[in-house]
Copies of this chain bind each other. A is one copy, B any other.
Amino acid sequence: MDNYKKIIEEIYLDVKNVDDIGKVANYIPELAHIDENNFGVHLTSINKLSFGFGDCNKKFSIQSVSKILSLTLAYKFEGAKLWDRVDVEPSGNPFNSLLQLEADFGKPRNPFINAGAIVICDVLVSHLKNPKKDFLEFCREISDNKNINYNEKVAESEKISGFRNVALCNFIKSFGNIKNDVDDVLDFYFHICSIEMTCKELSEIFLFLADEQYINKKGESILTESQAKRINAIMLTCGFYDESGEFAFRVGLPGKSGVGGGIVAIHPDEYCITVWSPKLNKKGNSYKGMLFLEKFTTKTVSSIF
């Protein structure tokens, strides 16, 4: 991995100049204001390599990338019982589809589509005394980073325009797979989506998925090794909505994208890398982010396959 820094810098400069055919997500009004030229990348390895380029220290809305964090905490609480509530299969459909939910009687296909992430939030609301506060605490302790916060404006903006998510949550509740009050679950869900972090912070917080020995500052492990591997598996098969196969095919790493333009990817036993570029391709994943990561794993021959 000694030459990774040089390779990453080269690819960064190369992709920076590529004509970006993506578009900034506009369905969450507050997100549409972002400067679309932001472009950052950061890598943190399990043996303490750490470097980044471009806008890697700017905060951005991590959106669905946060679904890994909520899943992690719910998995800690529930263990394997969690999979009675949500499946681990790729959906083959766009991220906010209700189609399969109807066929599967309210059990979402996986925890990374919106339906599944909402069920995960419901699980957490059942376990946490002060869901929003406690969840933030959990995130901060993973990588000893006090500097992780919700963006209330973004959360509010999602709430105002989030009719599809309100529909999803009520639809699942009609099948009995939401136990708490719909408003409470969604308020929590919208807040989790609004978390802001930098590329550097993201590549640090998800090291626990790359490093089987990972412990936080308090000396606690986050998940068991088997659990961490299983989350990686779900990221690989389901992390990019109906483009998950394409990401596995082109990049070959477990990963997760968000409509804020961030992508986190994990190489088990080696590193976590984060890219951020706000313009999205048609499937809702960062155009330059995917391009960067494809070039990166190709040049370093470091896909998991």
Judging by beta carbons under 8 Å apart, are A88 and B237 in contact?
A: no
Contact B173 A246, beta carbon cutoff 8 Å: no
A174 near B167: Cβ-Cβ < 8 Å: yes
* Smallest CB-CB A-B distances: 4 pairs: A92-B92, A167-B171, A89-B245, A232-B305
Interface set, chain A 275-297, CB cutoff 8 A to B: none
Please tell me if A265 contacts chain B, counting CB pairs below 8 Å: no
Chain B residues near A173 (CB-CB < 8 A): 163
CB contacts (< 8 Å) of A88 on chain B: these are 245-246, 248-249
Of residues 209 to 263 in A, which have CB atoms within 8 Å of B's CB atoms?
225-226, 228-230, 232-234, 236-238, 242-246, 248-249, 252, 254
Verify A305–B236 contact, CB threshold 8 A.
Answer: yes
Is A45 at the interface (CB under 8 A from chain B)? no
Query: Across the two chains, which residue of chain B brings its CB closest to A245?
Result: B89
Interface residues of A (CB under 8 A from B): 87-93, 97-100, 102, 109-110, 163-164, 166-171, 173-174, 182, 225-226, 228-230, 232-234, 236-238, 242-246, 248-249, 252, 254, 268, 298, 301, 303-305
Contacts of A229 in B (CB 8 A): 252, 303, 305
Q: How far is the CA of A91 from the CA of B91 in the complex (A)?
A: 8
Chain B, residue nearest A238 (CB) = B245
Q: Which residues of B are found within 8 Å of A89, using beta-carbon distances?
A: 90, 92, 242-246
Which residues of B have CB within 8 Å of A245? 87-90, 110, 233-234, 237-238
Contacts of A254 in B (CB 8 A): 305
A237 to B90, Cβ gap below 8 A?
yes
Residues of B within 8 A of A243 (CB): 89
Residues of B within 8 A of A301 (CB): 225
Q: A92-B109, A98-B171 are in contact. List 6 more A-B contacts (CB 8 A).
A: A89-B244, A110-B245, A163-B171, A166-B166, A166-B167, A167-B170
List the B side residues contacting A305 at CB < 8 Å. Answer: 228-230, 232-233, 236, 254, 268, 304
Asked, given contacts A233-B249, A233-B303, A245-B238, whether A90 binds B87 with beta carbons under 8 Å apart, the answer is: no
Which residues of B sit under 8 angstroms from A248, Cβ to Cβ?
88, 233-234, 236-237
Report the bound CA distance from A252 to B265 in whole Å.
17
A230 adjacent to B249 (CB under 8 Å): yes
How many angstroms between the C-alpha atoms of A298 and B249 in the bound complex?
25
- Give the Cβ gap from A53 to chain B, nearest Cβ, in Å: 25
| Minimal Cβ-Cβ distance residue in B for A252 | B233
Q: In the complex, how many angstroms separate the beta carbon of A8 from the nearest chain B beta carbon? A: 19
Residues of B contacting A169 with CB < 8 Å? 167
A93 to chain B, nearest CB (A): 7
Q: Once bound together, how far apart are the Cα atoms of A254 and B252, in whole Å?
A: 11
